[in-house]
Homo-oligomer: A and B are copies of this chain.
Amino acid sequence: MKVTVVAGNPKPGSRTLDAATRLAEAVSGRAPDSVIDVITLGPGLLGWGDPDVAAAVKTVAGSDLVVFASPTFKATYTGVLKLFLDQFATGDGLKDVVAVPLMLGAGPGHALAPDLLLKPVLVELGATTPAPGLYLIDSTYTEDTRIADYTRRWAPALKAVLA
């Protein structure tokens, strides 16, 4: 099983990336094989055909389990993450990929965003999304039990599809 983390925070090495890595580890039981910190791909994201971007897309498309993570900007996922998702083929760019939508916010008010806004983009790319999106508070996710609770509740469904 190949596990990948994608983080769409405009700041590299963000808490978004950290939370996504923790979630991927919790759900899969091991460290991710690949980590895509989208912003580090640079200006090639703004066009088509950049080799580093293409390699990142290929890594994600060839993964079994991918956590797609974003901070909440303007009540939804970031432009940086969407730039990267726009590079995938519609309908089957994420075929046979089990995807978990993850968003972090400063407060609880945007908790509906992972399921109402981020998950539908992954579905449009053909991903399999058996579990709900997860929304974490960015100042407390390292201490609260939300990742553990989510894993207990949803790892079985994720693993069933991955098997």
- The residues of A with any CB-CB pair to B shorter than 8 Å are 10, 39, 42-43, 45-48, 73-86, 88, 90, 107-113, 115-117, 119-121, 123-125, 128-132, 157, 160-161, 163
The contact of A116 among B47, B48, B120, B125, by CB within 8 Å, is B120
Query: A-B pairs with the 4 shortest C-beta distances?
Result: A79-B83, A79-B82, A130-B130, A43-B43
Contacts of A115 on B, CB cut-off 8 Å?
Answer: 119-120, 123
- Pairwise interchain contact B108-A112, C-beta atoms closer than 8 A: no
How far, in angstroms, from A116 to B70 measured CA to CA in the complex? Answer: 19
- Return the chain B residue nearest A39 by Cβ: B46
Number of copies: 4
How far, in angstroms, from A124 to B111 measured CA to CA in the complex? Answer: 12
Contacts of A46 on B, CB cut-off 8 Å?
Answer: 10, 39, 42-43, 45-46, 80
- Return the chain B residue nearest A88 by Cβ: B74
Contacts of A117 on B, CB cut-off 8 Å?
Answer: 116-117
How far, in angstroms, from A34 to B144 measured CA to CA in the complex? Answer: 41
- Return the chain B residue nearest A109 by Cβ: B111
Contacts of A112 on B, CB cut-off 8 Å?
Answer: 75, 109-113, 116, 120
A4 to chain B, nearest CB (A): 18
The contact of A111 among B110, B121, B160, by CB within 8 Å, is B110
How far, in angstroms, from A78 to B81 measured CA to CA in the complex? Answer: 10
How far, in angstroms, from A45 to B82 measured CA to CA in the complex? Answer: 13
How far, in angstroms, from A139 to B5 measured CA to CA in the complex? Answer: 38
